[in-house]
Every structure is written in structure tokens, then in C-alpha cells.
Amino acid sequence: MAKLKTSFYCQNCGTNFSKWLGQCTSCKQWNTIVEEIIQKEEKQAWRSQSSENKKAPKPLKINEISTSEEVRLNTTDSELNRVLGGGLVPGSLTLLGGEPGIGKSTLLLQISLRLPYKTLYVSGEESQKQIKMRAERITHQSDNCFILTETKTQNIFRQIEEIEPEVVIIDSIQTLQTDYIESSAGSISQIRECTAELIKFAKETNVPVILIGHITKDGTIAGPKILEHMVDTVLQFEGDRNHVYRILRSLKNRFGSTAELGIYEMQGSGLREVSNPSEILISNKENYLSGTAIATTLEGMRPLMIEIQALVSTAVYGTPQRSTTGYNLKRLNMILAVLEKRAGFRLGAKDVFLNITGGISVDDPAIDLAVVAAILSSNEDITIDKDFCFAGEVGLTGEIRPVNRVEQRIQEAEKLGFSTIFVSKYNKITPQDYKIDVRLVAKIEDLVQELFG
């Protein structure tokens, strides 16, 4: 009988303690430390025979290491390819997190059915019949997709040796458990150990592995924070379940940019890729009302046209309210202070509500100019022409500052049929180079003069 060792782990951050404490000294949370029994036994690799015969790696000079670029596996999903940086990297470990019911399992099952490679979809949460029912709803047929319902890693690796898949999908990492740890599935030590075994498998066989991860009530991925450090890529699948659109973001990517964005539409037959996000981010209505302006923003390499809606009204209860959806509230307060100090608009006694349509959050300062235009439009109750769009950052002195990659923003506005775009006078561009009317503004007063006369 192997000797048993007791250890204490914080269920919130994963910190290890030698004894029980009421409060975790690392994350300062109360009553999160629990006792776990760890079996001290010599661990075997995921494939014991080949590992015993395998020679230990030797150090190489950096000049001797081959720098040939790895061929990525095409997922047949343009949105996922964009977020990953071009496709799945062989031997990589990708973690996909998101709220319950957001569509994580649907997305990965849909991709596994489309992949031209032999794929093993391992589920610890659903039966094979349940997965088959979802596959029929997605209406994709595949001869390369194998479904396994198992939670023990040793049994999973045994099936992997028989099937020899080219891609492995695990749904989810919180349901797995290994024989080398005696604690229950979903505990800190189980998640860490199972992930370590999958990493060893992926690196030795060059097979990419995709994990689904649960999230906590705070919106972070459940389990120890070290889980996100161990994997190569962390993806976040987000959106409001009351809306049909879903957004895929990259929080960490060792093989590409973390600024890319993928957009999907949830339908009865699965998730549809949205190749032109402007179709969902701009309202299609015949008559524009006051308080609406179109901004050009960038998510990674992708330009987006988004609609900014503002409502300015007299404060009924004396204390004015400031509320935003998808925009930084502190930045809104700064812009309102600039409008009052530099442009003379009396907004201190008025309620201001700001909304970015489509349910997305934008941090790009280039939408400041559209925010100003929408607020002033609502305040004056004057409609802005629906063919106008804006790209500029507002400074504390009231000047319109230049933004990066303004040429790409102008080209996107031109391609989507806008007639006029307002940009900073300090951007080094020549307006005559574009078919669209490029108007240069230096201060907020210039914008007010152009829009409202």
C-alpha cells in the first residue's frame, strides 16, 4: 500500500498549504481551503512502454535548433482560425472557457464533425446518445469523428492508442480524474494532474488537444490559475444568452495575437460564422433618430463599424445618472467633463446613458469621437446623417487626437458605403486619395460646426 499524504489547497487560487487555515493568504478568500489526499506513487507517463525506452532530451545550441514553421491544422472555421492565429498548432493545448449554455460544446462538436482529420471527442458530461442528438441537429455527418464518454484519463489514453486520432477534444477538464490522485474530480490537484498528463501526451505525439473549462461566478475559469499558465492558448466564449450572437476572444496565445475576435450567430442548426460583423453591429432602420453615431474600431486585424447610442435627458431626481453598456464609465465621465469645460455644453445636470449595440465591449479610444457626436446629437435632438462615421480620440484639452491604422478604418467605411468620415486633422493622410469624403477636425468645436452648423 502506497503511503498517503494529506495536503491542503485553496479552491479559489490553488495555493498549497501544509495545514488548514481559515483565510487563504494568497487570494484573501475565507473558507476556501480544503484537505485533499494525494497518493505518493511513482507516476507513469501516458504511454509507459514507449516512455521507458525513450532517451532523455539533450540540450542543443540555439543555432542548431530548426526554425522551420509548423504547418497548422485548418479547423474549417474561419472565425476560429482567425482567433487562433491561422489554425491549430500540432502539439498545442487550447483551453476554451465560457458560461453554462453559451455554446462551448456545440462549437467544438460542430468543428469536430467538420474536421477532415481523425478526431476523438471525449465527453464526461453527456452520453453518446445525447451527443448524437446534438450532431443530428447540427446536420453535419462525419466518418472521422469518434465519440467517447469517459472520465478516467488512463482509459482515455488507452483508447487514444487504439484509434490514433489527429485531434483530441475534452469536454470538460473539470470532469476528468486520474488514478494517481485520490481526490474527487474537479478538485485543484485533479485538474492540475490531468492537465499535466494531457500536455505530456500532446508534446510527445504532436497531437493538438482542445479542453473545455467551466467558469466560476466571477467569470474566471474554474480551477487553479496555474491551469491557464500550463496551456498554450486560452479562449473565452462570451455573449448574452438572451441574444443570438456569440463572441470568441483570445486571452492568451503563444502562437498568435490576442487582439483577434471571432463572431458567431446561434441558430437552431448550430453556430453560424459572421464574416461581416457590421451586419449585426449597425441597426438597419430607414429613419435614424437623434443620439446615434457610427464609429470605426479595430479588433486585431479586423475593422468593425459599430453603432453608438446615447440618451441625454434632464435629471429628475437632482443627482444626474451616468450609465454605460459596453463602454468604460470613467472614460464617459472624462468626455462629459471635456464637453462642459472646453465646448461649453451644460451636461452636469443631465442624465447620460450610453450603449454600444450588438452586446460587445470596446476599449478602442478611436470611438471617442463617435461617443461625443452621439451625446451632442441627443442633447441637441438633431439627427446625424446615417452615412457619416467617426474615428478619433478625444484629449483632455478638447483636441481630436490621431488614431492608429486610420487608412484601414477609412477603407472599411468606404467599402461599406459611408459617404463621409470624420478623422483627426493630425493624421498624416491625404483626403484626395480616397473616394469617401474625409473631413479633418482638430477640436470638438470643429466637429460641432461640421455637424450642427
pLDDT in tens, the chain (453 residues): 455 677 888 877 778 888 888 998 888 888 888 887 665 455 555 564 444 445 677 888 888 887 666 688 999 999 999 899 889 999 999 999 988 888 899 999 999 999 989 999 999 989 999 999 988 888 777 888 999 999 999 999 999 999 999 999 999 898 998 888 777 788 888 888 899 999 999 999 999 999 999 887 777 777 777 888 889 999 999 876 666 788 898 989 998 888 788 888 888 888 888 887 776 777 766 666 889 999 999 887 788 889 999 999 988 777 889 999 989 999 999 999 999 988 888 888 899 999 998 777 888 999 999 999 999 999 999 999 888 999 999 999 999 999 998 999 998 888 888 999 999 999 988 888 888 999 999 999 999 999 887
Round the CA-based radius of gyration of the chain to a whole number and report it: 27
Q: How far is CA 300 from CA 117, 127, 304, 415, in A?
A: 29, 38, 10, 19
**Phi/psi of residue 225, nearest 5 degrees:** -65, -25
The whole-model pTM stands at 0.74
Please give the distance of CA 272 from its chain centroid, rounded to a whole number: 17
The residues that bridge with 233 in the sheet, in sequence order, are 94, 253
State yes or no: 98 annotated in a binding site.
yes
State yes or no: 105 annotated in a binding site.
yes
CA dist., res. 164 & res. 112, Å (int): 15
CB neighbours (10 Å) of residue 434? 15
CA dist., res. 447 & res. 375, Å (int): 12
CA dist., res. 27 & res. 11, Å (int): 10
State yes or no: 102 annotated in a binding site.
yes
CA dist., res. 21 & res. 25, Å (int): 9
CA dist., res. 238 & res. 221, Å (int): 12
State yes or no: 99 annotated in a binding site.
yes
State yes or no: 103 annotated in a binding site.
yes
State yes or no: 100 annotated in a binding site.
yes
| Closest to 220 in 3D by CA, of 198, 197, 251, 195 | 251
Three-state SS sequence of 293-334? EEEEEEECCEEEEEEEEEEEEECCCCCCCEEEECCCHHHHHH
User: Which residues, 6+ apart, have CB-to-CB distance to 411 below 8 Å?
Assistant: 303, 434
Supply angle C-alpha 193, 195, 196, rounded to 5.
Answer: 65
Structure confidence at residue 1 (pLDDT): 44
Residue that is written with C-alpha cell 494517481 in the block: 180
Three-state SS sequence of 354-413? EEECCCCCCCCHHHHHHHHHHHHHHHHCCCCCCCEEEECEECCCCEEECCCCHHHHHHHH
